[in-house]
Amino acid sequence: MYAKLFIVCCACAAAAAAPGLLDYGYSAPISHSVVSAPVAVAAPVYKTYAAPVVKTIAAPVVHAEPIDPNPAYSYAYGVQDPHTGDHKDAQETLQNGVVHGSYSLVEPDGHLRKVTYTADKINGFNAVVERTGGTHAAPVAIAPAHVVAAPAPIAIAAHAPLSFGHGWH
């Protein structure tokens, strides 16, 4: 065993003493000083991104509706229901900035109430109320009374055992 160790030590000493034995083809002798060779460093990689595309959309053009300097309208309606006793009507007209209208209804005591009015920017709202007719009550339909039977009382049984799952005992 000592012989093998002695041979390895001799081989290492011969290799260290013989110039050019371990220089792997370089002509310069092996030196024991550390020489740093220039190291190539890669340049940093910068990722580039395209700028976002901004799409401009023209806003829709809004045209104001033309204003009628002299608006006008007219409407009328009426209800004559003998079953419920509902009798009423109304009509109204706007012409040259003045509203003319009227409405009428049969009151519960049978009188006919009629309101005639005018309205404008100068005089405001002016109404004339007329009340005509008899003192008898207007016919009003009365719905028949519905008889509602009370529900039967619910019988509550004594405590019964609760069963969950199957009914085998």
- 92, 101 Cβ separation under 8 angstroms: yes
How confident is the model over 150-169, as pLDDT tens digits? 666 666 655 555 555 555 55
Q: How distant is the alpha carbon of residue 9 from its chain centre?
A: 88
Predicted local confidence at residue 78, as pLDDT: 94
Please check whether residue 138 is in contact with residue 87, taking contact to mean a CB–CB distance below 8 angstroms.
yes
- Does the pTM exceed 0.85? no
| Coil/strand/helix, residue 132 | strand
* 95-113 pLDDT, tens digit each: 999 999 999 998 888 889 9
pLDDT at position 69 is 87
Strands (E), the chain: 73-81, 86-95, 98-106, 112-120, 124-132
**Residue 77: what residue type?**
Y
pLDDT in tens, the chain (169 residues): 778 878 877 777 766 666 655 555 555 555 555 556 677 777 777 778 778 888 888 888 888 888 888 899 999 999 998 888 888 999 999 999 999 999 999 888 888 999 999 999 999 999 999 999 866 554 555 556 666 666 666 666 555 555 555 555 5
